[in-house]
Amino acid sequence: MSVVSNNDKVQAIDYSTKEHYLTKVFQSPFYSRQEPLNHLKEWGRWADYLSPRAYTCSAMEYFACRNACTVFDLTPMSKYRISGKDALPYLNRLVTREVSKIKPARVGYCIWCTDEGQAIDDGTIFHLGEDDYRLCSQERHLDWLLTNTIGFDVQMTDETHEVAALALQGPTSCATLRKMGLEEIDSMKMFDIRDFPFEGTQLTISRTGFTGDLGYELWIDPGHAEVLWDRLFEAGHLHGIQAMGDEALQMLRIEAGFIQCRHEFMPAHATVRSGHTRSPFELGLGWLVDFNKPNFNGRKALLAQKKSGHRYNLVKLDIDGNKPAHDSYVFTRNKKQIGTVTSAIWSPSAKASIALATLETPHGEPGEEVLVEIYYQKELKWSRVMATARVVSEVFYDPPRKRLTPPADF
Amino acid sequence: MTDNNNHIVIIGGGHNGLVCAAYLARAGKKVTVLEAAEQVGGAAITREFAPGFNVSAGAHLLYMLDKNVRKELSLDSAGLSFSQQNMRTTALAEDGNHLQVSGDTLQGGTISDKDRQAMKEYRRFMNRFAGVINRLSNRIPPRLGTRDRGDWISLAKTALNIRLLGKSDMREFLRIAGINIYDVLQENFENPLLKGALSLDGVLGTNLGPRSNNSVFCALHRLSGLQGMAMPKGGMGTVSTALANAAAKHGALIRTSTVVSRILMEGDRVSGVELSDGEKVDAGTVISSADPKTTFLGLLGARNLEAGFAQRVQNIRMRGNTAKLHLALNGAPNFKGLNQNQLGDRLLIAPDIDYVERAFNYSKYGEYSTKPVAEITIPSLHDPSLAPPGKHVLSAVVQYAPYQLKTGWSESKAAYTGQVIDLLAHYAPGIKDQVIHKELLTPVDIESEFRINGGHWHHGELAMDQFLMLRPVPHSAQYASPVNGLFLCGAGSHPGGGVMGSAGRNAANAVLGARNNEDLQS
C-alpha cells in the first residue's frame, strides 16, 4: 500500500488490504502489546490511527521517561520516502533550510511553507542513503508532496503504514538498547542514524526524540513490530521501561520547548481564516530559513516578511504560582492584551508553571515581564489570577545527558 | 550592474513578442527578439504549403488588432495593408439558401422580420458589452488584495465601465456574460441557420460547445476588437512583418532560427537564456511570448518556481480543439447556391446550433466530430499573389479536433482530413477534384509548428477563470512573474489570443513600470 509518484504518472492509493473501512481507524502494528497495557482504555486518535492517550497514569509515565525510559508508538507519524536523482533539489525546494547540510546517516529538523511563507508543518528529514531520504511529520502531506514533484525526477512514496516506529526515550534508553544486544549503540551521536540486524530483519535507529532527553527512535517493518516491542520490554525490565501515551509526551515536549503543529501553529493547508497561520519567523524558527538558497517554497514572501517584520513572537514563559496557564490570554503590565498561551503545564522537573505563548511583536524579548490570566477551578468554583510571568530564552529542562556521547550508564 | 543587466531578451517573435519589442525599443531599451522559426510571426505568418500556394498558416482573419498598437507603432507605414476589409459572413445552408450577415443586416435565408429586428438589438448590446472587454484589454489587470493605489484605481475603472452601461444594459451584461450562447441565441432568434452561425462566435478556437458556459464571454472577447473582419494583403505574415519593421526601426534586434532551450538563473533572478546550440545570451530581463506552460515548466523549469505556483501553471486549461485545413485548388470552388460575390465571404458551416453542439459532443470523449463545423476563407480571391494564376487557396478553421484524441492523431489524421473534405464537398460538389494539395494541422501539429503547449491558439482556454487578473494564473497576471526579471507577454497573458498585440503592449508597459520598483534595481 503505497503511493509512488514520478511526475505525471497516475497516482493511486491501494487501501484494499487494510479493511480500515470496517473499523474507521487503523490499529498500530503494536496494538496487541499496547492494548493489554492500556488499563485506562484511553485511546486518542493520531491521523487515521488509534494512539494511547495514557496507559495507566500520565504523571507516572512522565516520571518514567525522566527517570528511566518509556516507549511511545510513533507509527502514526507520516513517513514519506523521497528518492531519486532529484531528491536533494526536491527537498531543498520544499523546506526552508539547506538540506545538503544533513549528511548521510544524519537527521535534520526542518519546516516547510506554502508559497505565502506560512508554515505547513515541521518535521525531520532522515538522510538514509545516496539520493534517499525520509520526511517525517505529524500531519499528512501526500497531496502537497505530490504537488512538489512537478518538474523533479523523484520517487515519492508514502510509507506511513509500511514502517512501524517506536520512540524509546529517557536516561536508561541507551542501556536498554545495549542490553538488547545492539552493539556500539553508545557511539551514536545526536541525530545519527544507524542500521542494526535484528531478528532477521533490519532495525534502523536514530538518536532523535521529542522529549528533550536522551533517547532514540526505532524504525522497523510492521511484521517485526511485536517482536521488537517484546525484546525492548525484556531488555528494559530492570531499567524501568514503561509504555507512555500522548499526555505524558505533551508535558515532556513543553519542558523541552518543542513546538507542535495544531498547538503552536495551524497547518496552513488546514487553515481557512486569513491571518491565522504562522511563518517560521513567528515560530522562532528563523534559523531554519536559508535565503542563500535561490528558491524554496515561501522564499519570496519570507524575504518580504523579513524586511517588513513579522507579526508574532513565539516565547517561553516562566509563570509565577503553580496553576497551569491553559489557554490563557497574555497582557502587558498595563493590561493590554498581547497574545495567548498555546501550551502550558506545571513542570514537575522545573518545578514551575511553564508555557509556550504567541505574543504580538515587538513583545517577547527575553526578560520581558507580562501578565498571564489564568482561570482555574476547585470543585466547580472558578477563580482567576493574573500571574506575573517572564519571557525566558533557555529551555525549561535540558539535561546534559541528552547530548552526552557515549551516554552515561544508568 | 553590467551592461547586460540592461539588455532585454524577448523569447519568441510572434506578434505579441514583436509588439513588446517595438514598444521597449521605442522607449530606448536594448532589446533582442529570439525567434525559433525561420520567419517572425509565430502563429501570425504566411507560409507556402504547396509549391506556389501561400496561406496564413495560423490565424487567417484579422479582426482584433489593437488600434493603439496599429497607431502607436505606425503599422500602416511599416507595411500593413489589406486585401479585404469589413468582410461579410455567409452561413452556408445545405439547401443552398445561404444567409449573408453583414453587421446587423441579414440577407438571404428565410429570415423573419422578427429576427431582422432582433439582429439589430443583438448587435447593439453585444457590441456594447464587447466594448467593456475592449477597455479591460488595453491595460494591466489589477491585483487583488493589495493596497496599491494603481490596483484600486484599475478595479474601480473596471466596475465603472460596467456601471456606465446604464441600469438596463448593465443588468443584461451581468446576466449573460457568464452563461452560454445557446441560451442567449434561443432567447433572441428563431432561424436555425442564423443561430448556428452566430454561435460560432462563442466557440471557435475553444473547448466549448454553444451550451457550455463561458461561450458568451468568448463571443464578447472575439467581438472586442470592435472592428470588421479583414485580410492583410499577403496574408497574416504581413502584420508580423510590419511589426518586425516597427521594432527594427526603433532599434530592436531580431534573430530568427534561434531556438531558446532554457531560461538561465543567477541566484534568484534571471540572467539570460541559453540557445539550442549552447550559446548564452545575457540579459537582466527576459520576456517570454511563449505560452505559460512552455515558459515556466519548460524553459525555466518548475524547480525555479514555488510549488503552488508551478501547480497552478500545470493546471492551466490549454488543450486545443481546433484544426486548420489548407487546400491548394486548381480553380475557384463552386459552392451550391453561392454567387461569385459571396464566395469571398467568411463562409461558415454551422447549419444550426444543435449541429454545433453535437459536433462538440465528440470532443468531450476524445473523439473528433464526424460532422465538424468550419470557418472557411478563400484568401486568393482577394489576393491573387497567394496562389499561381487561376488557382486558389482555401483556408479553414475546423472543429472539433481534440488535442488528446483517443485514437491518436498519427493514426487518425488522414481519416479526419478526408471527412472534412467530404463535408466541404457536401456544400461544394466537385471540390475534391480541384484539390492539388492538402494540409491539415491538428492541435498536435499546431503545438509542434507554433511551439504552443497543447496546440491551443489562445495559449490557454479563454474563460472567466482564466481572464484578467487570473490569466494565466494569479501572481503572473500583471506580466511580471514570481521570478525576478522574468515577464510574460504572449497570448497566455491578459487579454488572450487572437492577433491583437494588446498583451505585448501591456507587457511592455509593465516592464517599463517595473523599472521604477526595487524588483529591477538589484
Q: For testing the chain B interface, which of A114, A147, A269 should be mutated: the one with the most B CBs within 10 Å?
A: A147
DSSP A194-250: EEEEETTEEEEEES--SSSSSEEEEEE-GGGHHHHHHHHHHHHGGGTEEE--HHHHH
- Tell me which chain B residues have a C-beta less than 8 angstroms from the C-beta of A300: 306, 482
Type of residue numbered A295: N
Give the model's pLDDT for residue B517: 38
CA A157 – CA A145 distance, rounded (Å): 10
Q: Report residue B516's pLDDT band, with 50, 70 and 90 as the boundaries.
A: very low
pLDDT at A11 over 70: no
Clarify whether residues A68 and A173 are in a common domain: yes
Interface contact B147, partner A, CB < 8 A:
no
pLDDT at B514 over 90: no
Give the model's pLDDT for residue B340: 86
- Tell me which chain A residues have a C-beta less than 8 angstroms from the C-beta of B297: 150-151
Cβ distance of B268 and A299 shorter than 8 Å: yes
Query: Quick check: is A126 in a domain?
Result: yes
Angle at B359 between CA B62 and CA B47, to 5 degrees: 35
- Tell me which chain B residues have a C-beta less than 8 angstroms from the C-beta of A154: none
- Tell me which chain B residues have a C-beta less than 8 angstroms from the C-beta of A296: 306
Clarify whether residues A187 and A105 are in a common domain: yes
Quote the cell numbers at residue B35: 525567434
Give the model's pLDDT for residue B4: 76
Nearest in space to A217 (alpha carbons), one of A169, A177, A256:
A169
Give the model's pLDDT for residue A20: 62
Min Cα distance A381 → chain B (Å) is 47
Min Cα distance A98 → chain B (Å) is 15
Cβ distance of A147 and B311 shorter than 8 Å: yes
Cβ distance of A151 and B306 shorter than 8 Å: no
Min Cα distance A84 → chain B (Å) is 15
In the sheet that holds B99-102, the strands lie side by side as B105-108, B99-102, B89-91, B346-349, B373-377, B392-399, B322-329, B435-441
A66-90 tens-digit pLDDT: 999 999 999 999 999 999 999 999 9
Clarify whether residues A342 and A220 are in a common domain: no
Computed over its alpha carbons, how large is the radius of gyration of chain B?
22
Residues spanned by the domain of A371: 311-401
Cβ distance of A151 and B482 shorter than 8 Å: no
* Closest by Cβ to B314, choosing from A144, A150, A300: A150
Cβ atoms of A396 and A316 closer than 8 Å: yes
Nearest in space to B34 (alpha carbons), one of B55, B65, B13, B59:
B13
* Mean of all residue pLDDT scores within chain B: 95
Give the model's pLDDT for residue B515: 42
Q: Report residue B522's pLDDT band, with 50, 70 and 90 as the boundaries.
A: very low
Angle at B379 between CA B374 and CA B383, to 5 degrees: 175
Query: Quick check: is A410 in a domain?
Result: no
* Closest by Cβ to B307, choosing from A89, A147, A294: A147
Give the model's pLDDT for residue A18: 64
Total-model pTM:
0.94
Min Cα distance B42 → chain A (Å) is 26
Cβ distance of A93 and B314 shorter than 8 Å: no
pLDDT at A311 over 70: yes
- Tell me which chain A residues have a C-beta less than 8 angstroms from the C-beta of B304: 294-295
Clarify whether residues A242 and A379 are in a common domain: no
Nearest chain A alpha carbon to B481: A300
Q: Which residues contact B171 (CB under 8 A, 6 or more apart)?
A: none
Which domains can be identified in chain B, with CATH numbers?
3-42+235-317+456-520 (3.50.50.60), 113-223 (no CATH)
Q: Report residue A132's pLDDT band, with 50, 70 and 90 as the boundaries.
A: very high
**Residue B388 burial (CB < 10 Å; 0-12/13-18/19+)?**
middle
CATH of the domain at A30: 3.30.1360.120
Nearest chain B alpha carbon to A295: B304
φ, ψ dihedrals at B323, nearest 5°: -110, 165
Interface of B with A in 463-502 (CB under 8 A): 475, 482
Query: Quick check: is A88 in a domain?
Result: yes
Angle at B92 between CA B90 and CA B94, to 5 degrees: 160
Q: Which residue has the cell 545495549?
A: A178
Query: Quick check: is A134 in a domain?
Result: yes
Half-sphere CA count of A165, side-chain side, radius 13 A: 23
φ, ψ dihedrals at B464, nearest 5°: -60, -25
Give the model's pLDDT for residue A6: 45
Nearest chain B alpha carbon to A149: B307
Q: How confident is the model over B203-218, as a mean pLDDT?
A: 96
* Closest by Cβ to A114, choosing from B297, B301, B308: B308
A380-398 tens-digit pLDDT: 999 999 999 999 999 999 9
Query: Quick check: is A80 in a domain?
Result: yes
Q: Which helix (H) or strand (E) holds A189?
A: none
Q: Which helix (H) or strand (E) holds A386?
A: strand A381-392
Quote the cell numbers at residue A78: 507520516
Nearest in space to B23 (alpha carbons), one of B66, B63, B59:
B66
DSSP A284-340: T-GGG--TTSS--TTHHHHHHHHHH--SEEEEEEEESSS---TT-EEE-TT--EEEE
Contact residues of A toward B, CB < 8 A: 86, 89, 93-94, 114-115, 144, 147-148, 150-152, 294-300
Clarify whether residues A217 and A73 are in a common domain: yes
Cβ atoms of A70 and A139 closer than 8 Å: no
CA B1 – CA B18 distance, rounded (Å): 27
Q: Report residue A3's pLDDT band, with 50, 70 and 90 as the boundaries.
A: very low
- Between these two residues, A286 and A17, which has the higher pLDDT value? A286
Count the domains in chain A. 2
SS3 category, B84:
strand
- Residue at a domain's end among A278, A308, A338: A308
Cβ distance of A93 and B308 shorter than 8 Å: no
Q: How far is CA B297 from CA A150, B71, B266, B316, in A?
A: 9, 35, 18, 12
pLDDT at A40 over 80: yes
Q: For testing the chain B interface, which of A148, A149, A293, A306 should be mutated: the one with the most B CBs within 10 Å?
A: A148
Type of residue numbered B303: R
Reply yes or no: is the peptide bond before residue A52 cis, omega within 30 of 0. no
Give the model's pLDDT for residue B284: 97
Clarify whether residues A203 and A59 are in a common domain: yes
Angle, in degrees to the nearest 10, between helices B181-188 and B192-203: 150
φ, ψ dihedrals at B399, nearest 5°: -130, 155
Widest distance between CA atoms in chain A: 65
User: What's the ipTM?
Assistant: 0.93
B164-176 tens-digit pLDDT: 999 999 999 999 9
Q: Are strands B346-349 and B89-91 parallel, antiparallel or unpaired?
A: parallel
Query: Quick check: is A46 in a domain?
Result: yes
Query: Quick check: is A408 in a domain?
Result: no
Query: Quick check: is A77 in a domain?
Result: yes
Percentage of the residues of chain A whose pLDDT score is greater than 90:
92
- Tell me which chain B residues have a C-beta less than 8 angstroms from the C-beta of A298: 306
CA A130 – CA B412 distance, rounded (Å): 46
- Tell me which chain B residues have a C-beta less than 8 angstroms from the C-beta of A114: 308
B35-52 tens-digit pLDDT: 999 999 999 999 999 999
- Residue at a domain's end among A290, A308, A326: A308
Instruction: Give percent helix, percent strand, percent coil of chain B, each to the nearest 5.
Output: 40, 20, 40
CA A7 – CA A92 distance, rounded (Å): 17
Clarify whether residues A323 and A241 are in a common domain: no
Cβ atoms of A391 and A220 closer than 8 Å: no
Clarify whether residues A297 and A318 are in a common domain: no
Clarify whether residues A22 and A62 are in a common domain: yes
Cβ atoms of A313 and A391 closer than 8 Å: no
CA A24 – CA A49 distance, rounded (Å): 9
CA A55 – CA B231 distance, rounded (Å): 83
Cβ distance of A296 and B306 shorter than 8 Å: yes
Q: Report residue A5's pLDDT band, with 50, 70 and 90 as the boundaries.
A: very low
Min Cα distance A143 → chain B (Å) is 11
CB pairs under 8 A between A and B: 51
Clarify whether residues A343 and A379 are in a common domain: yes
Nearest chain B alpha carbon to A93: B303
* Closest by Cβ to A89, choosing from B303, B306, B308: B303
Angle, in degrees to the nearest 10, between helices B149-163 and B167-176: 110
Cβ atoms of B237 and B243 closer than 8 Å: no
Cβ distance of B307 and A152 shorter than 8 Å: no
CATH of the domain at A367: 2.40.30.110
CA A324 – CA A374 distance, rounded (Å): 8
Cβ distance of A299 and B306 shorter than 8 Å: yes
Q: List alpha helices for B213-338, DSSP H.
A: 215-223, 237-249, 292, 307-314
Give the model's pLDDT for residue B2: 54
Give the model's pLDDT for residue A398: 95
Please report, in angstroms and rounded to a whole number, the separation of the first and last CA atoms in chain B. Answer: 8
Cβ atoms of A151 and B310 closer than 8 Å: yes
Angle at A138 between CA A66 and CA A171, to 5 degrees: 15
- Residue at a domain's end among A308, A337, A371: A308
Cβ distance of B311 and A115 shorter than 8 Å: no
Q: Tell me which DSSP letter residue A149 carries.
A: T
- Between these two residues, B193 and A23, which has the higher pLDDT value? B193
Give the model's pLDDT for residue A410: 79
Nearest in space to A83 (alpha carbons), one of A157, A194, A3:
A157
Nearest chain A alpha carbon to B484: A300
Clarify whether residues A227 and A315 are in a common domain: no
Cβ distance of B482 and A300 shorter than 8 Å: yes
Clarify whether residues A234 and A373 are in a common domain: no
Nearest in space to B134 (alpha carbons), one of B44, B56, B223:
B223
Widest distance between CA atoms in chain B: 70
Min Cα distance B266 → chain A (Å) is 8
Q: Report residue B387's pLDDT band, with 50, 70 and 90 as the boundaries.
A: very high
Give the model's pLDDT for residue A17: 66
Quote the cell numbers at residue B332: 475557384
Q: Report residue B263's pLDDT band, with 50, 70 and 90 as the boundaries.
A: very high
Give the model's pLDDT for residue B226: 86
Quote the cell numbers at residue A264: 503552536
Tally DSSP H helices, then E strands, for chain A: 9, 20
Q: How confident is the model over A128-148, as a mean pLDDT?
A: 97
